[in-house]
Amino acid sequence: MTLEQILTSIRTDPSLARHLTAWREIPARTGRFAPIPFSIDARLTSALRRSGIEALYSHQAEAFEVAQSGKHFVVVTPTASGKTLCYNLSVLNSLLAAPETRALYLFPTKALSMDQVDELQTLVRALNVDIKAYTYDGDTPGAARRAIRTAGHVVVTNPDMLHAAILPHHTKWLRLFENLRYVVVDELHTYRGLFGSHMGNVLRRLRRICRFYGSNPQVIFASATIGNPKELAERLLEEEVTLIDDNGAPSGPKVLAFYNPPVINRELGIRRDALSEAGRLAGEFIRNRIPLIAFSRSRRSAELLTTEFKSIAASHHISPDRVAGYRAGYLPSERRAIEKGLREGDVLAVAATNALELGIDIGRLQAALLVGYPGTIASTWQQAGRAGRTQDLSAAILVATSDPLDQYIVRHPEYFFGQSPEAGLVNPDNLYVLTSHVRCAAFELPVDEGERFGPNTLPEILDYLEQQQIVHREGDRWHYVADAYPAQDVSLRSASTENVVIIDTGDPAPRVVGEVDLASAPGLVHEDAIYIHLGQQYHVDRLEWEERKAYVHHVDVDYYTTAQIAVDVRVLAEFAKGEASPPPAHGEVVVTYRPTIFKKLTLERHENVGWGPIHLPESTMHTTAYWLALPDLSIPREEIQGLLIGLSHALEHVASLFLMCDPRDLGRTYEVHSPHTGRPTLFLYDAFPGGVGFAERLFRMHAQVLAAARDLIAACPCETGCPSCVGPVLQVGGTGKARALEVLDARLVPGAAR
């Protein structure tokens, strides 16, 4: 069957069709073109013609024009719309005019950098001039580095290398910084949350170094779908940025459908498992050899899907080698092999996590399955966009889980299709992040009195660093004097730079199978956990916490494990509180994580078949939180806990929708009697040290969020609570759902009571 026939059969098969809550056919778009501008170097024009480009898409021509005016700009158009030409044209044109010109390209990952250099080099070859474009990353051989530093016209790297290897050694990059004309920041949408907050500071440092060398580069941002490209770029750059978002590229027709698995237990609100439903749909595609990508939200789900896909393939006489998994924790070589397999068609189906979400070139897939709402509207469009980069028909199906957010989205498709994608929220002024980068900046150049670096808190931060004997003040300058390389201690991607290495102690010799970041380690590789890698199960025999090593051996069991982590929160400072009584508030808190127990759940039916304790040290994090104390209630004491669990469950999910953030960026906890408010209180906090501003925003839009939580709970078909609204009845008790509604109706949502 062709894709078209498969789609028809899905729509007409009653057992499937009635669970489709949305079916949108997005028509093909015709392209809008503009002539190649006359002001472009004739050599470049003819090179473009030789590569088959006779005219530009309208947005490419617009980008060239804005670039000529010297303004910073941001290009936002979908995948495969010729975004890279938007900056390559201007960069190459400047290089042809003045060969000493330099450009710096920043991509969030190494794989993307390599893709880009290949593309740029193809164009340069067509030009037949001596323009050198190089990737500079951790894999660049030592001998090549010197040549790149002095002779590379276009240096392609990632923010981490810029932060840890280039800026701290800027004197070796004299030629680059003296002549830097363009800085390209592609995949802008990835620079949000903590990573974006770091990126803002890396850009501050970059431009500070440029000023020292007398250059003032023009910055070009490019991005996939995101709600606030201009605002985000301006927040990162702290200057005005011109927006180019009128896409002139054509695209093929596309179907985007929502599928909500049927309820199998109405009382408990239990729906059929999204993973098995996805397997069923995937069977149609795999059987008909339609290239397929499935995204799931956790590493574990990706592994389970991989196993499922392999068995589907086997039953249709397709080699299981044509099915692959793809997620963080795979070794880079494994990943490159899978990407290549996808591009060349050797791999037919891949089960991935969002590790594959970025613009890594994996060729032309026709179908995408999104198992579970990816968390944001933007990433939904991006994941769906992995299918159908060509002019042909493509399809993406979102299979909902029982998560409240999934349920809200598939039951309110008009919300999804009517809403603009999420805004990227960053806070480069986060004190933790800012201070880390002031330290790095001082290492790069002494800091002068009156210099600005972000907000006007520089003197206080320098005072603190002097106290810590990191900088030394002399007259109106602070000099770096510590015997340490500060960039080494600062990771742009996570709160900690540390990983736990997973070592297989089995035959024939011990080998490293992967690694997990320190924060996830207590939940994934505690002793007796089942760790899944490349579809293989491993039993964790020993976790050497101080050594950051987990020793595992290969097993074959019919269960997996899931860890429970107790969260405590303590208020340090209240920044603001609202009008209501008792008032909602936000402020600084310290959160303590204490892993407690793990459960063993069967692979088939997720039934609990055992548990064990986790012995690991607790960890703490300073961050910002929003909290909500409940008013005086005539509710029996024993029902308060269920009420708090239910309310916080619903609130957390609705909040991430309104905050337009990934649900994982928020944490939640509650206290039946909070020492701070003296009342039952629930807390939602930023899941990064220092916070990126979610708590404050939540505080400001608190009324809207509470109203939406009420809608979610009231509209849920379950009787006494389910994972889709207040959480399972086992957690919230028989009255949790009713009490939560009661509280929302009576006290928190003005006008909702009737």
Partner 1 sequence: MPGSSPGLRDSVLRDRLAALNVVGRMRREPVRPAMPWDRRDRDRDGTPFEIRRSVRTVREIFGREKPHPSDYGALFLDTETTGLSGGTGTTPFLIGLATLERHEVTLEQYFLRRLSGEAAMLEALRDRLVEAETLVTFNGRRFDWPILEARFIMSRMPLDPPSDHTDLITAARRLWYRPLGTYRLSVIERQALGIDRVDDVDSAEIPGMYLEYLRTGDIGPIEPVFAHNQQDVTCLLHLRRRVRRWIEDGEDPPPPVDWEGLGVLRLQANREVDAESALRRALTVEDDPAVRWRIATRLARVLRRGARWDELLSLWEREVGGRGAWRVRALIETAKVYQRRLRRPDRASAILEEASRVVEWLLLRGEPAAHVMDGEVRNRLTRLSTRYSNSQVR
- Of 390 and 496, the one with the shorter C-beta distance to partner 1 is 496
Task: Give residues 489-518 in contact with partner 1 (rule: CB under 8 A).
Answer: 489
Strand partners, 23: 257
Q: H helices of 79-129, where?
A: 83-97, 110-127
Q: Which has the closest alpha carbon to 291: 379, 373, 389, 400?
A: 389
CB count, 10 Å around CB of 230? 18
Q: Of the candidates 126, 129, 519, 590, which one interacts with partner 1 according to CB under 8 A?
A: 590
Q: What is the bridge-based pairing of β-strands 536-544 and 549-555?
A: antiparallel
Q: Decide if residue 435 touches partner 1 (CB under 8 A).
A: yes
3-state SS string for 589-653: EEEEEEEEEEEEEECCCCCEEEEEECCCCCEEEEEEEEEEECCCCCCCHHHHHHHHHHHHHHHHH
Residue range at the interface with partner 1 (CB under 8 A); choices 184-192, 374-382, 433-441, 719-727? 433-441
- Of 23 and 432, the one with the shorter C-beta distance to partner 1 is 432
- Of 253 and 578, the one with the shorter C-beta distance to partner 1 is 578
Q: Tokens in use for 212?
A: 């020292």
Reduced to 3 states (helix: H, G, I; strand: E, B; else coil), residue 533 is strand
- Beta-carbon contacts of residue 150 (< 8 Å; ≥ 6 apart): 175
Q: Of the candidates 25, 54, 100, 474, which one interacts with partner 1 according to CB under 8 A?
A: 474
Q: Which has the closest alpha carbon to 255: 10, 7, 79?
A: 7
Q: How many Å separate Cα 500 from the centre of its chain?
A: 21
Compute how many residues bind partner 1; rule: CB under 8 A.
49
- Of 357 and 444, the one with the shorter C-beta distance to partner 1 is 444
Sign of CA dihedral 721, 726, 731, 733: negative
Q: Is residue 164 within 8 Å of residue 89, measured between CB atoms?
A: no
Residue range at the interface with partner 1 (CB under 8 A); choices 49-57, 220-228, 416-424, 478-486? 478-486
Q: What are phi and psi of 611, to 5 degrees?
A: -155, 170
- Of 298 and 469, the one with the shorter C-beta distance to partner 1 is 469
Q: Of the candidates 225, 251, 307, 436, which one interacts with partner 1 according to CB under 8 A?
A: 436
Q: Of the candidates 91, 155, 371, 442, which one interacts with partner 1 according to CB under 8 A?
A: 442
User: Taking the complex as a whole, how short is the minimal distance between the CB of residue 235 and partner 1, in angstroms?
Assistant: 18
- Of 150 and 298, the one with the shorter C-beta distance to partner 1 is 150
Q: Of the candidates 123, 161, 445, 705, which one interacts with partner 1 according to CB under 8 A?
A: 445
Reduced to 3 states (helix: H, G, I; strand: E, B; else coil), residue 361 is coil
User: Taking the complex as a whole, how short is the minimal distance between the CB of residue 510 and partner 1, in angstroms?
Assistant: 21
User: Taking the complex as a whole, how short is the minimal distance between the CB of residue 202 and partner 1, in angstroms?
Assistant: 16
Residues 554-583, mask of contacts with partner 1 (x by CB under 8 A): ------------------xx-x--------
Q: Decide if residue 464 touches partner 1 (CB under 8 A).
A: yes
Q: Decide if residue 484 touches partner 1 (CB under 8 A).
A: yes
| Dist. CA 689–CA 124, nearest whole Å | 44
Q: Of the candidates 23, 432, 545, 559, which one interacts with partner 1 according to CB under 8 A?
A: 432
Residue range at the interface with partner 1 (CB under 8 A); choices 361-369, 472-480, 645-653, 708-716? 472-480
Q: Decide if residue 460 touches partner 1 (CB under 8 A).
A: yes
Angle at 436 between CA 473 and CA 212, to 5 degrees: 60
Q: Which residues bind partner 1 (CB under 8 A)?
A: 168-172, 174, 431-432, 435-436, 439, 442-446, 457, 460-461, 463-465, 467-470, 472-475, 477, 479-486, 488-489, 572-573, 575, 588, 590, 622, 689-690
